[in-house]
Amino acid sequence: MDIRKNKGKKLRRRQLESLYSQLKPLTSKSFPSSGWIRDIREALGLSSTQFAKLLGISRQAFQKLEASEEKQTIELATLRRLAEAVNCRVVYAVIPNHPDGLEGVLLERALKAATKFVNKVSRTMALEDQSIAKKEREQQIRELANDLLGNLDKRLWEAD
């Protein structure tokens, strides 16, 4: 892969990490189990009928939309339309679970892929009575993981 592409991807990861750090406090909060729309509607004192009228739909159709949000099956565009009807907006984010963000995700994947490859080679070598010391094997894993990371090698995502 082109070095410039890798640098661009690394820059984009850093930009995303900066954004994630701002959003991180939201990940520890609990969200309304009945859905944002129902919570906001009730906080504003709107009935289902009134909200449906704002949208130009029937009360039954609106109740189905509220239920679909609660079940997490609502379409994002529909949720945006509902939010905009009461002067709100939807903030959508996909945030890495790894404590070290995307870099941590990549490192974890690289170590997993490298370990799988080195273990496979080690087993073959052991069969030929050429096994290596544990410390050397760990060094090989770290080196291969760094190579995989440096090149954003496709094998990062084939380790499972």
User: Is the pLDDT score of 62 beyond 90?
Assistant: yes
Distance CA 24, CA 93 (A): 11
Domains of the chain, by residue range, sit at 36-85, 98-157
Which DSSP string corresponds to 124-157? HHHHTT----HHHHHHHHHHHHHHHHHHT-GGGG
Report the share of the chain in percent with pLDDT over 70.
91
Q: Label residue 77 by pLDDT band (50, 70, 90).
A: very high
| N-term to C-term CA, the chain | 22
pTM of the model: 0.72
For the stretch 16-38, pLDDT in tens is 999 988 888 888 778 898 999 99
High-pLDDT (> 90) share of the chain, %: 49
Instruction: Look at residue 4 and tell me whether its pLDDT is greater than 90.
Output: no
- The encoded tokens of residue 69 equal 């949000």
Q: Is the pLDDT of residue 159 over 80?
A: no
Does residue 86 register a pLDDT over 90? Answer: yes
pLDDT digits (tens, 9 = 90+) for 117-137: 888 877 665 555 556 677 888
